[in-house]
Amino acid sequence: MMRDFPSCFGENGVQVADSSSSSSSRITKIAQNLVSCVYQCKLQGRLCFITVTWTKNLMGQGLSIEIDDAANQCICKVDIKPWLFSKRKGCRNLEVDTSKIDIYWDLTNAKFGSGPEPLEKFYLAVMFNQEMVLFLGDLKREAFNKDPVGSISRATFIAKREHIFGKKFYGAKAQFCDKGKSHDVTIECETVGLHEPYLVICIDSKMVMQVKRLNWKFRGNHTILVDGLRIEVFWDVHNWLFGNAMGNAVFMFQTCLSDDNKFWTSPPVLDSSVLAWSSSQPLRDNQLQGLGFSLVLHAWKNE
């Protein structure tokens, strides 16, 4: 559900093998390929959040759409289970408190990269009382034919959470504000070998920050500037240096849209599983406090 941003540690969650498990068991129990995007909107004057979660596993692609209010109450949730040859196109019609919610999708010819999120040739549309609330994809004509009043998407993209995989280099596409320019984010982290561990982060192949003596600075934060926006970068690589070899590192990019708002002066308090950092409630609280877009990357080492 959304309150866990969203269910990433529930049925779609990370599975980490017990230390006594066999090697083959550890290989099969890895993090799921997952991307969750959170959009903010108003439904009948009520602040709400729409979470779209794309997943990918051996069974195929999966899709989940959940709508929650600002009090963490689930308004509705639709799960489209992984498919191989079916459920690539369809709709769900729901009645919630005398309101009508319609969800349409067409992924028949969708093009995917290495991740679970479609890149082109698709659409996903969420309508509330016959008005378009959220539209994703590039098949606009097909989607807007479903909308009798011809309204446009009214939701604002506020947060994204993604699992990324690599050995030394980890990459992701990111935009740091709603409808902002897409950037290539590259994380380079060396934790083994003859050299001292270090961390380098690049935006569009340009180095924006470097952390040396990573054994002493395995958690921290640093401010960078992208597209004229101040972005606070938080990192936690404790698992890679001192924890379970199957554990993940976490990186968060948090924008600030106003000079009147100040960043945290110290990193958030993290527990060993870093769940507190990446839960939905702090991300939405940040938005309500005037902070901008939040990007959370869970980086997993490939065996």
Residues 6+ apart with CB under 8 A from 67: 43, 48, 49, 50, 51, 74, 75, 76, 77, 101, 126
For tokens 């990357």, name the residue. 297
Domain spans of the chain?
A: 2-154, 165-301
| CA distance linking residue 48 with residue 44, whole number of Å | 10
Residue 154: predicted pLDDT: 85
Which residue shows structure tokens 């950092």? 277
Higher pLDDT residue, 282 or 146?
A: 146
The pLDDT of residue 258 is: 57
Distance CA 98, CA 9 (A): 32
pLDDT at 147: 55
**Residue 114 confidence (pLDDT):** 84
Q: What is the mean pLDDT of residues 60-83?
A: 90
- Enter the tokens of residue 55: 């997943």
What 3-state class would DSSP assign to 276?
helix
Reply yes or no on whether the pLDDT at 7 is more than 50.
no
Measure the CA–CA gap between 222 and 70, rounded to whole angstroms: 30
* pLDDT computed for residue 257 by the predictor: 64
* C-alpha to C-alpha distance for 264 and 294, rounded to whole angstroms: 14
Q: Which residue has the higher pLDDT, 231 or 292?
A: 231
Q: Which of 7-16, 22-31, 41-50, 154-163 has the lowest mean pLDDT?
A: 7-16
Q: Which residue has the higher pLDDT, 98 or 210?
A: 210
Report the sign of the C-alpha dihedral through residues 127, 130, 131, 132, in that order: positive
Are 238 and 250 a contacting pair, CB within 8 Å? no
What's the chain's average pLDDT?
78
Q: Which of 46-50, 237-241, 269-273 has the lowest mean pLDDT?
A: 269-273
Helix (H) or strand (E) holding 283: helix 280-288
Do 278 and 270 form a contact (C-beta atoms < 8 A)? no
Give the model's confidence band at 10: pLDDT under 50 very low, under 70 low, under 90 confident, else very high. very low
More confident residue, 195 or 99: 99
Provide the pLDDT for residue 268.
43
- pLDDT (average), residues 146-154: 62
Token pair belonging to 185: 């984010």
pLDDT tens for 43-69 read 988 899 999 999 998 888 899 999 999
Note whether 27 and 19 are within 8 A (CB).
no
Polymer length of the chain: 303
Most confident listed range (82-86, 278-282, 286-290):
82-86
pLDDT value of position 45: 87
Residues 192-219: tens digit of each pLDDT = 776 789 999 999 999 999 999 999 999 9
Whether the Cβ atoms of residue 103 and residue 126 lie closer than 8 Å to each other:
yes
Query: Which of helix, strand or coil describes residue 141?
Result: helix
Q: Span 136-160, mean pLDDT?
A: 76
> What is the model's pLDDT at position 288?
46
pTM of the model: 0.79
Q: Is the pLDDT of residue 23 over 60?
A: no
Q: What is the DSSP string of 181-222?
A: PPEEEEEEEE-SSSSPPEEEEEETTEEEEEE--TTT-SEEEE
